[in-house]
């Protein structure tokens, strides 16, 4: 029972951190990123197809980003749940700290024009999903 309550609390905290990154204050789009995880990620082929079909219409681009983001967010939640269920250990604590730092840095650097910010958040969550899938 305790583990289930802990998992629910952890998921609420994790989701809160995730949502906070989308409401970060605007900064200049010329900001330099610490690494390529802000600007590049392995995304689904369907995302590229969606972008191509959007004809560069903002609301259609936004829909593509949102759909892909939701896919990777579900992956992160699934992998995060697996991490939470691991026995307590130094390596688990280290991974949890890395994930928390990941979101703090996402909030810090993914701030600019709306589509750029969404794209940055998408890249970050896709890369996080890949990272924690492999840990």
Total residues belonging to the chain: 135
Residue 27 CA neighbour count, 13 Å, CB half? 12
Nearest CA-CA partner of 80 in 103, 104, 47, 110: 103
> What is the chain's alpha carbon radius of gyration, rounded to the nearest angstrom?
16
pLDDT for 23 beyond 50: no
Q: What is the pLDDT of residues 73-130, one digit of tens each?
A: 999 999 999 999 999 999 999 999 999 999 999 999 998 777 789 999 999 999 999 9
Q: What is the pLDDT of residues 37-84, one digit of tens each?
A: 999 999 999 999 999 999 999 999 999 999 999 999 999 999 999 999
Q: What is the pTM of this model?
A: 0.73
Question: Which pLDDT belongs to residue 26?
Answer: 38
């Amino acid at each position: 029972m305790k583990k289930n309550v802990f998992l629910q609390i952890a998921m609420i905290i994790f989701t809160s951190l995730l949502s906070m990154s989308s409401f970060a204050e605007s900064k200049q789009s010329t900001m330099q990123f610490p690494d390529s995880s802000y600007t590049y990620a392995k995304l689904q082929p369907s995302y590229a197809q969606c972008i191509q079909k959007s004809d560069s219409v903002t609301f259609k681009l936004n829909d593509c980003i949102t759909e892909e983001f939701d896919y990777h967010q579900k992956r992160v939640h699934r992998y995060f749940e697996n991490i939470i269920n691991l026995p307590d250990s130094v390596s688990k604590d280290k991974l949890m700290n890395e994930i928390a730092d990941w979101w703090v840095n996402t909030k810090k650097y993914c701030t600019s024009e709306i589509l750029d910010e969404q794209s940055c958040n998408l890249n970050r969550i896709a890369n996080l999903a890949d990272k924690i899938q492999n840990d």
